[in-house]
Structure 1
Amino acid sequence: MPGGRISSLPVDTVSYSNLVGFIFIFNLIVGTGALTLPGVFSKAGWCLSLVVIILLAIISYITVTFVIESMAGANAIKNWQSLQVLRHRRSSNEDEDNERFFNAAASETTPLTIQNMEFHYYQLTHKFELGEMATIFFNDFGRILFYLCFIIYLYGDLSIYSAVVAKSLRDVICEHEHSNTSDITNWMQYLGNFEGNETNERACWQDHTISRLIMYRIILIGFTLIFGPLAVLSIQKTKYLQILTALFRCLAFALMICIALKMLVMDGARGRPVAINFYGIPSLFGACVYSFMCHHSLPSLLEPLRNKSVVAKILSYDYIVICTFYIVLAMTGIFAFKHVEDLYTLNFLPYQVGYNSFLSTFFVVIDYFLSLFPVFTLSTSFPLIAITLKNNLQTLFLDMSRYDSYSIFIRILFPLLAILPPFCVTYFTENLSTLVAFTGSYAGVGIQYVIPVFLVYFSRKTCCELLGSGIINHFQSPFQSNAWLALVLTWSILSVFLVTINLFT
């Protein structure tokens, strides 16, 4: 999820090579957030944006290594508990059949060979989601805070997805005037003081009275009515749908970069972005945090990896490639286009870019593909995120062991609680910069920075108490010192404080 995103692995996971793992992680991180980067780069300035995105990529990688270490710690606790049970069983006076059964279970479920007393505690063989690790390492109060943060993030994800789909379809369907916006209007838009009311109140078609805002809301209602009810079900994304979506994503981003480069070569730089604009920090910070989000889905990616000893190296390569990719996408966009939309694909509407006549048909098809690309990919992810949100709401508020006994009202209530709040938010606003800034700067910071810091801290503390300090965790983060934990936590608090000041002033 990418990107607010859930794990894109198929349910029936099998082991895969390092290269396939690299591709899966790349596809997970590169999501919808990347489509907002050119817009926030143009607002915050190219120099400031360059520094911030590199800094946040580094901090995000640090906290990813914290998640890996925490997952290995959770495996160690599980393996230690299994060892205690097996030793107890072997020492008890059971009959021969029971002893044979437990010996077989030991050889199948753990890497334990009690005869030679070898046991590797720290592994990544068992998948522990963030919620499970929070249950192991946090108290009840910490677990509730974790779920609240996770739920708020998923609400933000659904709001962004709804707005992106409705806005993309609206801008493809409606006519556009070929008039240049004044420099003053552009500057007001950059500062976030102009809500675009005149644009929204303009008629969708020249000969009809339906405004663009009404068309946006009609599409939003239709999208919610079609995909919202799927939250009641329990469905999973198939492997083939995942591969198709990944291919669409890579093709779309490659086309956007190539078209922007072509415009720069043929027409020169039409965009004149400033170097630094501190008023753009909230949306820049939120979009960058959102664009590097993979922490909540990382355990599902690590479990099937065949060679887990190099997982930190694979992730470092992914972050270097993805950060470079983001910079190229954003930099080409802000200099190729005079005005960059909040959703970058809207800069590739067929009437936004002029082409030579003999290539016009080909490029119009490409532009329609790019314009509708968010609709194709996000429509498949929306029900899955809604189901994930519904399940987390039920886990937080219900006793899931008694779920089968709950009434039909309760079974319908939680899907509605997952769908209606994002619909209400996006019904009254289509401002993607605000949605991304809030989701990334608050809930995103919690999941990407704060939660991994506390997870790895309590993981180290718990494992040291149970296993002692003599057993080495081979998956430990390279950033072992507690000073790194304090640094990330301090950065998180300072960032949220500065973003809050900028948002409300």
Structure 2
Amino acid sequence: MAGEITDTGELYSPYVGLVYMFNLIVGTGALTMPKAFATAGWLVSLLLLMFLGFMSFMTTTFVIEAMAVANAQLHWKRMESHKEEEDDDSSTASDSDVLVQESYERAERRPILSVQRRGSPSLFEITDRVEMGQMASMFFSKVGVNLFYFCIIIYLYGDLAIYAAAVPFSLMQVTCSSVGNDSCGVDADTRHNDTDQCWGPLRRVDAYRIYLAAFTLFLGPFTFFDVQKTKYLQILTSLMRWLAFAIMIVLALVRIGHGQGEGHPPLADLSGLRNLFGVCVYSFMCQHSLPSLVTPISSKRHLTRLVFLDYVLILAFYGLLSFTAIFCFRGDSLLDMYTLNFARCDVVSLAAARFFLGLFPVFTISTNFPIIAVTLRNNWKALFHREGGTYPWVVDRVVFPTITLVPPVLVAFCTHDLESLVGITGAYAGTGIQYVIPAFLVYHCRKDAQLAFGHGTPNKHRSPFRHTFWVGFVLFWAFSCFFFVTANIVLSETKL
């Protein structure tokens, strides 16, 4: 749950942390990026991707700095509590020489940390996993905490809606074919309508909704329970994901090298900028999971450099995946879920590879859906939690899981436009989580640190973007993007 302080867990090396962060950031958003690139043009897409990568790196360092300040406050409270306990012990001691000697020896054994001055860098070691909900409660007012949970909940709803639509959509694309089309797998002509036939009298949209119902029946019940022991399942899905990405990049490069590339992407097309922005923001999302990712790293000496290296590698990967896609396939033939472009006989001749890539989102997303659902359910509980209070069984086991599961399934029932779902989720809730919340966190934690530990606090994990200008710049950019995306949507609806 977002509001808990939890144990650090098993430690791992900085390079393992680098891999974990890479896996965390590169997810479903990467599969929708090629179409967004083709729609907006390769030059404007590359420039926006690099800029948003830089902005995400900046706010990641903001969150890490806030984590260090939160740890410093917890460490200081423990030190004060320890000192008070020792003072109480000494006040109850008699004046006998033996007890005086014992008190002296106890003082000699007292850890040096307990008498360090307030500005000691060791206070800012990130040893406790302080989740973002806990940091919000430490640095924000009650209104700010509620707004934080509201933003997190909206983002998780968007996540679940994307997952609930992606799995049935992939199954529909792989198993359905247009009438009179002899190709296997996904249609060679991908410009089809939901009203086209799938199996006999069933339309494509009917098949999609049948798959959605099956998806809900199989995975929905997990929302009513706790999901545990997913370590090996997550390792398996990570291996499948990287195998799929490697196959797609290699196949696209081979087709381009053999002169079979069909893509001629434009330089720039501003009409596709809205979805591109949302997809890119969504594809750099990691700020809400940083506490559980960063805290177990054994050595945090070069943490900022490690994060910077991760972002460089992620930018390179996104660029490689997207550029090979837009020059390999025509822009109008690229599907929302990029893996589906390889589920065709004319692209991949090996049937096993076709089905693996076509059904890849089904395997990986299905394992993440219960985890995200349980996280959302717990955040609902945290939002309405009252100190010392417990929920009735019906509210705890029925109401919260139901309000978690039903809305994203209804959204997926109404639309399977994954590019728009990812774009809207990234542009609104994603902007709040990736820009607004980290900016306010670092601003308030710096003020608290100055009050508690004095000016010029030696925080070893302080962000390189130390000037208040950067906080203002992030907020200005976030609100500008919010208004831009909203105006773009309104204009688009007006034209329709």
Pair in the same fold by TM > 0.5: yes
2:393 aligned partner, one-letter code: S
Query: AA paired with 2:463?
Result: S
Q: In structure 2, what residue type is equivalent to 1:463?
A: A
Q: Distance in 2 between matches of 1:409 and 1:16?
A: 39
For residue 350 of structure 1, report the CA deviation from its aligned partner: 3.0
User: Using a 3 Å threshold, how does the CA distance of structure 1 residues 36 and 473 change in structure 2: closer, same or farther?
Assistant: same
Contact 2:121–2:458 (CA under 8 A) maintained in structure 1: no
Paired residues for 1:235-314 under 5 Å: 235-314=227-306
Q: CA deviation at 1:496?
A: 1.4
Q: Which residue of 2 aligns with 1:41?
A: 37
d(CA) in 1 for partners of 2:322, 2:116: 59
CA distance in 2, matches of 1:485, 1:475: 17
Q: In 1, Cα distance between the equivalents of 2:103 and 2:161?
A: 55
Deviation at 1:482, TM superposition (A): 0.4
Q: Which residue of 1 aligns with 2:420?
A: 434
Distance 1:371 1:400 in 2: 48
Residues 121 and 460 in structure 2, CA contact (< 8 A), matched pair in contact too: no
* 1:479 equivalent in structure 2: 465
Structure 2 vs 1, CA of residues 340 and 78 (structure 1 numbering), >3 Å: closer, same or farther?
same
Runs of at least 5 residues in structure 2 that lack an aligned partner in the other structure? 94-98, 184-188, 492-496
Out of 311, 320, 333, the residue aligned to residue 328 of structure 1 is 320
Q: 1:115 to 1:285 in 2, by over 3 A?
A: closer
Larger displacement relative to structure 2 (341-350 or 128-137): 341-350
Aligned partner letter, 1:217: R
The one-letter amino acid paired with 1:432 is L
Is 1:29 the counterpart of 2:15? The answer is no
Q: Is the 8 A contact 2:7 2:128 kept in 1?
A: no
Q: Deviations over 1:153-180 (max 9, x none)?
A: 0000000001110100111111246599
- CA distance in 1 between counterparts of 2:215 and 2:195 reads 21
Displacement of 1:236 in angstroms is 2.4
Describe how 1:82-93 pairs up with structure 2 within 5 A. Answer: 82-92=78-88, 93=91
Summarize the Cα distance change of 1:491–1:270 in structure 2 as closer, same or farther, 3 Å threshold.
Answer: same
Contact 1:350–1:364 (CA<8 Å) still a contact in 2? no
Q: How many residues align?
A: 468
Q: Which amino acid aligns with 1:112?
A: L
Identify which of 27, 51, 58 aligns with 2:54: 58
Which residue matches 1:453? 439
1:229 aligns to 2:221 (yes or no): yes
1:413 aligns with 2:399: yes
Query: 1:321-470 alignment to 2 at 5 Å?
Result: 321-338=313-330, 339-351=333-345, 353-354=346-347, 360=349, 363-399=350-386, 401-403=388-390, 406-470=392-456
- Number of the residue aligned with 2:113: 112
Tell me: CA distance 1:115–1:296, structure 2 relative to 1, closer, same or farther (3 Å).
closer
* 3-state SS in 2 of match to 1:309: coil
CA contact under 8 A between 2:170 and 2:361: conserved in structure 1? yes
Amino acid at match of 2:214: G
Q: Tell me how far 1:410 sits from its aligned partner.
A: 4.3
Contact 2:165 2:416 in 1 (8 A): yes
Is the aligned partner of 1:124 residue 2:117? no
RMSD of the alignment, in Å? 2.6
**In structure 1, what residue type is equivalent to 2:379?**
N
Task: Give, as a single letter, the amino acid of the residue that structure 2 aligns with 1:379.
Answer: S
For the pair 1:203 / 2:197, whether they are aligned, the reply is yes
Partners in 2 of 1:378 and 1:63 — Cα distance? 27
One-letter code aligned to 2:429: A
1:470 CA displacement: 4.2
User: Does the C-alpha gap of structure 1 residues 130 and 421 become closer, same or farther in structure 2, counting only changes over 3 Å?
Assistant: same
What do the CA deviations read for 1:359-412 (whole angstroms, capped 9, x no partner)? Answer: x3xx22112111111111111110010000000011112437432x51324420
Show structure 1 runs of 4+ deviating over 6 A: 115-119
What is the distance in 2 between the residues matched to 1:34 and 1:381? Answer: 16
Aligned partner of 2:344: which letter? P
Structure possessing the higher radius of gyration over alpha carbons: 2
Q: How far off its partner does 1:120 sit?
A: 2.1
Superposed, which structure 2 residues align to 1:54-203 within 5 Å?
A: 54-92=50-88, 93-94=91-92, 112-114=113-115, 120-176=122-178, 178=181, 199-203=193-197
CA gap 1:99/1:430 in 2 versus in 1, 3 angstroms: farther
1:349 maps to a residue whose letter is A
Distance 2:435 2:11 in 1: 29
Q: Secondary structure at the match of 1:477?
A: coil
CA contact (8 A) 2:220 2:370 kept: yes
Q: Which is worse superposed, 244-253 or 417-426?
A: 244-253
Do the aligned partners of residues 74 and 233 (structure 1) sit closer, same or farther apart at CA in structure 2, a change above 3 Å counting?
same
Once the two structures are TM-superposed, the CA of residue 303 in structure 1 deviates from its matched residue by: 1.1
Q: Deviations over 1:287-330 (max 9, x none)?
A: 00000101011111111101112111111111000111001101
Report if aligned partners of 1:75, 1:125 keep a CA contact under 8 Å in 2. Answer: yes
- Matched-pair contact (CA < 8 Å) for 1:113–1:119: no
User: Quick one: which amino acid aligns to residue 380 of structure 2?
Assistant: L
- TM-score, scaled relative to structure 1: 0.88
The DSSP-based 3-state class of the residue aligned with 1:121 is helix
1:113, CA displacement in angstroms? 4.2
Identity of aligned residues (%): 42
Query: Does the Cα contact within 8 Å between 1:204 and 1:211 map onto a contact in 2?
Result: yes
Q: Provide structure 1 residue ranges, at least 5 long, that are not aligned to the other structure.
A: 1-5, 181-185, 190-195
